[in-house]
Chains A and B, each alone.
Chain A
Amino acid sequence: MEKVLTRNIGADLKPTDLAAYEANGGYQGLQKAMKELSPKDCQDLISASNLRGRGGAGFPTGMKWSFVPMGDKCTPGHKYLVCNADEMEPGTFKDRLLMECDPHQLIEGMILAAYTIGADLSYIFIRGEYVVAIQRLRDALAECYAKGYLGKNILGSGFDLEMHLHPSAGRYICGEETALINALEGKRANPRAKPPFPQVSGLWGRPTIVNNVETLCNIPHIVERGAEWFKSLGRGEDSGTKMFGASGKVNNPGCWELPMGTPIREIFEDYAGGMQAGLELKGFLPGGGSTDFLVPEHLDLVMDYNVIGKAGSRMGTGTMIILDDQTCPVGMVLNLIRFFAHESCGFCTPCREGLPWSRQVLVDIEEGRGTVEDMETLAYQVNYIGAIGNTHCALAPGAMEPLQSALKYFREDFDRHISGGRCPYHSPSRSGGH
């Protein structure tokens, strides 16, 4: 198939500098937009392409952008475009690759997004641990300023844009767009109440769009080659290609660009190479730590947002975490809940108190002290914390997804822990991490 997002990424993972990016058709989308397209034209293209957010929620990008007040409808002042490069969803490793190997693709996408919504200031909010990506983006930004792709009067169009790199000080909740905005304002990253939505009142109270790295990387290609071309890339109902991946005890863990609508079996068997010798597939999280487990019977589903949704999970970030039959599912869920409990911002009680409670119940079960009543407690937690509306943001409901689906598919494993008074697996540890 045609490579789009990874067309500049070779097996050697060598970074693409400005000259190499341009030599392979880079900044053609920007040239075209600055010469021929109005912001409205770009908006129409992205809406028509059916591009959906690649950060996990799958919200239509064109619709998100369309809520930004334009022209006379907008009060005078700045508008902001923010790239969410705070890749911290457990088991997700796609944006790192796109930024380390092809930083200009992201920057071109950001310039086009900013042009479309009329933003004059933009930020790349990147996790501080991504030191290689930070350096390469910094170099790429300098190249862009020198070449006139950033700054005043870009390519003679009259459009001005400044772009800044903001390495984060580290917290998972910064991936939530309003929490990210608070972090950019130098505050604790507690999510904000919505409405108002950031498109109307975001960074410093001004209209702001926050998009994921991979989402923005698609923009130059859609602008250059059109919405129909983009739609034709998908094999199912969704448009474009997607970075899919697999980690865990498979033969060939990795990250690959494939068409939307690729069957899970193809990703698992042909790309990830199936399970390591002696292991069977027990289940998998299709798109990161906050998605529900699916099981082998789901292998023939295709990776489309609605298809995975109907099966009771979410496509999320598209990077699958594979559970084998010799790793304890209780331990795996405990590891995840431990993470979410640690990363809760502490703002609302169900999340701040409920996640550590769930964690403690899981520790007891994993270490052989669990009781039958503990299963009722977990079921209560799933119903209470997992319900959207009981918590301030989506972190706690996301945390409940692997737990509720583990209770559904791996109930026997929980029961064996309780009846046997010990973990029946030779699992990597007794209690799912530190």
Chain B
Amino acid sequence: MNDAQMIQTDLTGLLTQQEMRQIDAELAHIPYKSGAAIDALKIVQAHRGWVSDECLQAIAKYLEMSAEELEGVATFYNLIYRRPVGEKVILFCDSVSCWICGCDKIKAKVSQKLGIDYGETTADNRYTLLPVPCLGACDKAPVMMVGDALLTHLDEEQIDQLFADKPSGGDE
């Protein structure tokens, strides 16, 4: 056994019993272990908020695939986070209907209130701001998700109220 394999073997222990049980449940209806790659990434992310290098290697080992192959899967998808995110992710819709309805102004307001731009997390670790393709609520544009909640018909006043406990200018 070479060094790289030893490191991977050790890392498998990173996954909790609960995470492994949930991954096993997915494996029950999938003919090959690597077929649960996306499910496993999402399960681990649901528990930990994001997928660290160590977790990625542990999942790859568990699913009997190479870490490189799993990394190719993880980085392909918009909702798998390979860097730490805040307690809540803000998915801000910047697609066409929201753009027509003035989402850029709302985005500027969110950035100003929280002091963060796309891809950044507030210093108190509460929010990460990310752009997202059309959220499928175009009749209620502009829209965004904060955590699991879909917020619609956004205006600047609403953003002020939503982040009222944040001083204008955010954390910077």
Residue of B with least CB distance to A166: B39
B14 at the interface (CB under 8 A from A): no
Q: Shortest Cβ distance from A426 into chain B, in angstroms? A: 11
A169 engages B100 (CB within 8 Å)? no
Ranked 10 nearest A-B pairs via Cβ: A169-B77, A247-B138, A186-B37, A170-B78, A429-B104, A170-B79, A253-B139, A247-B97, A90-B134, A90-B95
B101 at the interface (CB under 8 A from A): yes
Q: CA of A186 to CA of B31 in the docked complex: distance in angstroms?
A: 11
B148 at the interface (CB under 8 A from A): yes
A249 engages B95 (CB within 8 Å)? no
Besides A87-B136, A188-B76, A433-B99, 11 new A-B residue pairs in contact (Cβ under 8 A), listed by A number: A91-B138, A93-B136, A167-B42, A171-B78, A185-B32, A186-B35, A186-B73, A188-B72, A246-B139, A247-B97, A253-B140
A92 engages B37 (CB within 8 Å)? no
A183 at the interface (CB under 8 A from B): yes
What are 12 A-to-B residue pairs whose CB atoms are below 8 Å?
A: A90-B133, A121-B29, A171-B76, A171-B78, A186-B39, A245-B139, A247-B139, A255-B139, A321-B138, A332-B99, A335-B94, A432-B99
Given the known interface contacts A95-B136, A171-B77, the answer about A434 and B131 at a Cβ–Cβ threshold of 8 Å is: yes
**Residues of A close to B154: CB separation below 8 A:** none
Q: CA of A339 to CA of B137 in the docked complex: distance in angstroms?
A: 17
Q: CA of A396 to CA of B142 in the docked complex: distance in angstroms?
A: 26
Q: Which residues in chain B, 133-153, are within 8 Å of chain A measured between CB atoms?
A: 133-141, 145, 148, 150
B78 engages A169 (CB within 8 Å)? yes
A289 engages B96 (CB within 8 Å)? yes
Residue of B with least CB distance to A324: B100
Q: CA of A87 to CA of B138 in the docked complex: distance in angstroms?
A: 12
B132 at the interface (CB under 8 A from A): yes
Given the known interface contacts A171-B77, A253-B141, A428-B102, the answer about A434 and B37 at a Cβ–Cβ threshold of 8 Å is: no
Given the known interface contacts A88-B133, A89-B134, A343-B133, the answer about A189 and B139 at a Cβ–Cβ threshold of 8 Å is: no
User: How many residues of chain B get a CB closer than 8 Å to chain A's CBs?
Assistant: 47
A96 at the interface (CB under 8 A from B): yes
B107 at the interface (CB under 8 A from A): yes
A336 at the interface (CB under 8 A from B): yes
B102 engages A434 (CB within 8 Å)? no
Q: Shortest Cβ distance from A139 into chain B, in angstroms? A: 16
A228 at the interface (CB under 8 A from B): no
**Residues of B close to A342: CB separation below 8 A:** 133
**Residues of B close to A345: CB separation below 8 A:** 76
Stretch at the interface among A44-52, A123-131, A348-356: A123-131
Residue of B with least CB distance to A78: B31
Given the known interface contacts A90-B96, A129-B132, A169-B38, the answer about A248 and B101 at a Cβ–Cβ threshold of 8 Å is: yes
Residues of B within 8 A of A (CB): 29-32, 34-39, 41-42, 72-73, 76-80, 91, 94-97, 99-105, 107, 118, 131-141, 145, 148, 150
Q: Shortest Cβ distance from B143 into chain A, in angstroms? A: 10
**Residues of B close to A204: CB separation below 8 A:** 31-32, 35
Q: Shortest Cβ distance from B42 into chain A, in angstroms? A: 6
A162 at the interface (CB under 8 A from B): yes
A172 at the interface (CB under 8 A from B): yes
Q: Shortest Cβ distance from A299 into chain B, in angstroms? A: 19
Q: CA of A318 to CA of B36 in the docked complex: distance in angstroms?
A: 34
Q: Shortest Cβ distance from A138 into chain B, in angstroms? A: 14
Q: Shortest Cβ distance from A212 into chain B, in angstroms? A: 13
Q: Mark A411-433, 1 if CB is under 8 A from B, else 0.
A: 00000000000000000110011
Q: CA of A321 to CA of B134 in the docked complex: distance in angstroms?
A: 12
Interface centre among B76, B96, B99 (most CB of A within 10 A): B96
Residue of A with least CB distance to B72: A188
**Residues of A close to B136: CB separation below 8 A:** 87-88, 92-93, 95-96, 127, 129-130
Q: Shortest Cβ distance from B158 into chain A, in angstroms? A: 17
Q: Shortest Cβ distance from B146 into chain A, in angstroms? A: 12
Among A186, A188, A254, point to the contact of B36 (Cβ < 8 A): A186
